[in-house]
A = this chain, B = another copy of it.
Amino acid sequence: MSVNVKRGRPPGMMDVARLAGVSHQTVSRVLNEHKNVSEQTRLKVRAAIAELGYRPDRAARALVTGTSKVIGVVAQNSSLYGPASMLTAFEEAAQATGFAVNVGSVRSLDERSITEAVERHLDQRVAGLVVIAPVASAGPALEHLPADVPLVTIDGDPERSSTLVTVDQVAGARAATQRLLDAGHRTVWHISGPSDWFDAAGRVRGWEDTLTEAGVEIPPLLTGDWSAASGYRNGQLLARLPDVTAVFTANDHIALGLLRALNEHGRRVPGDVSIIGFDDVPEAAYFTPPLTTVRPDFAAVAMATLDLLMAQVESGPAGVGARRTIAPELIERDSVAGPA
């Protein structure tokens, strides 16, 4: 397996063919695992490939086939734990199947930005597209793209997207809310994510539904923006209301901010107030106290996405949109107790 040391362009199929004493087409066949190639020539070609250190040129292949082994991902350029986790999980999964991942981050998820990012990917002749589009405004951008490009949306609009993978936000929120109710709390407050996020909306719904079914009073909804800062701001308010004994926050970072606000006001967790978060960020176990939270399985989301995408890549964009929902899991730690 000697390295090619010649100058100039790297070796091409022709060079391999010459060395192996066959035609370039035969080399192509070996490369693409065609059936009708004799074992003998296959070996000769393989040997020549190894000797020259030949590597097929992806660009040339993309040119003629009209598609590449690259998947374009459109994601928001943020350090939000959820989206970021999905992204890296997806990358890893895609690489395992021989696909490269092209990330087109986008500053905000408005229609224009997404459209641009999608078009950049289309220029690269990506084999498929994954859009992490958790907000409503992302919807329209995906309506008008070529129908023949495989597309899977993560956390997109359940009403529009044809092929969708989502975490079951409602179920997660229900589990959290119910857990708090079961602990004996009269009701449960909620600090939500931004209202235009589907994730946030789903968590709100799960929370409301559970409360309604329990026949319990529904406290006013507080709105955050996923940040610890917003949890802190809302916490300043909550800390002053003595009858607040249980809070479900839309994510762990909000919970962290809330924790600090509560702490500053001398309210103990879980002694005075119980809290459940969402996401299970790696640090959640080391909050003070360790946070009970809902863990979405991002790896599973990534798998499902890849799965759905590959199905389309292989057989043309699937007809009716396939859906895949990943059920999250409640992780019990120390931030929940009964009311005083």
* Chain A residues engaging chain B, CB cutoff 8 angstroms: 3, 9, 55-60, 62-63, 66, 68, 70, 77-79, 81, 84-85, 88, 91-92, 95, 100-105, 107, 119-120, 122-125, 144, 227-229, 231-232, 253, 256-257, 259-260, 263, 282-283, 285-288, 290
Contacts and interface: CB of A to CB of B under 8 A. Distances in A.
Given A57-B123, A79-B81, A144-B3, A263 B286 contact: no
15 contacts: A9-B66, A55-B122, A57-B125, A58-B123, A62-B62, A77-B91, A88-B105, A95-B104, A228-B285, A229-B285, A253-B286, A256-B283, A256-B286, A257-B286, A260-B290
Contacts of A123: 55-58
A63 B57 contact: yes
Copies in the complex: 2
Q: Which of A3, A59, A88, A227 has most B Cβ within 10 Å?
A: A59
Contacts of A260: 286-288, 290
A120 B68 CA distance: 13
A88 B87 CA distance: 11
Contacts of A124: 58-59, 70, 100
A107 B81 contact: no
Interface of A is mostly: helix
The 5 closest A-B pairs by CB, nearest first: A228-B286, A59-B62, A59-B63, A91-B105, A257-B286
B102 A70 contact: yes
A15 to B, nearest CB: 16
Nearest to A65: B59
Contacts of A79: 81, 84-85, 88, 282
Contact of A63 (B60, B229, B257, B286): B60
Contacts of A144: 3
A55 B119 contact: yes
Contacts of A70: 102, 124
A291 to B, nearest CB: 11
A335 to B, nearest CB: 12
Contacts of A84: 79, 84, 88
A287 B287 CA distance: 8
A261 to B, nearest CB: 9
Given A59-B63, A103-B101, A288 B288 contact: yes
B228 A283 contact: yes
Contacts of A59: 59, 62-63, 68, 124-125
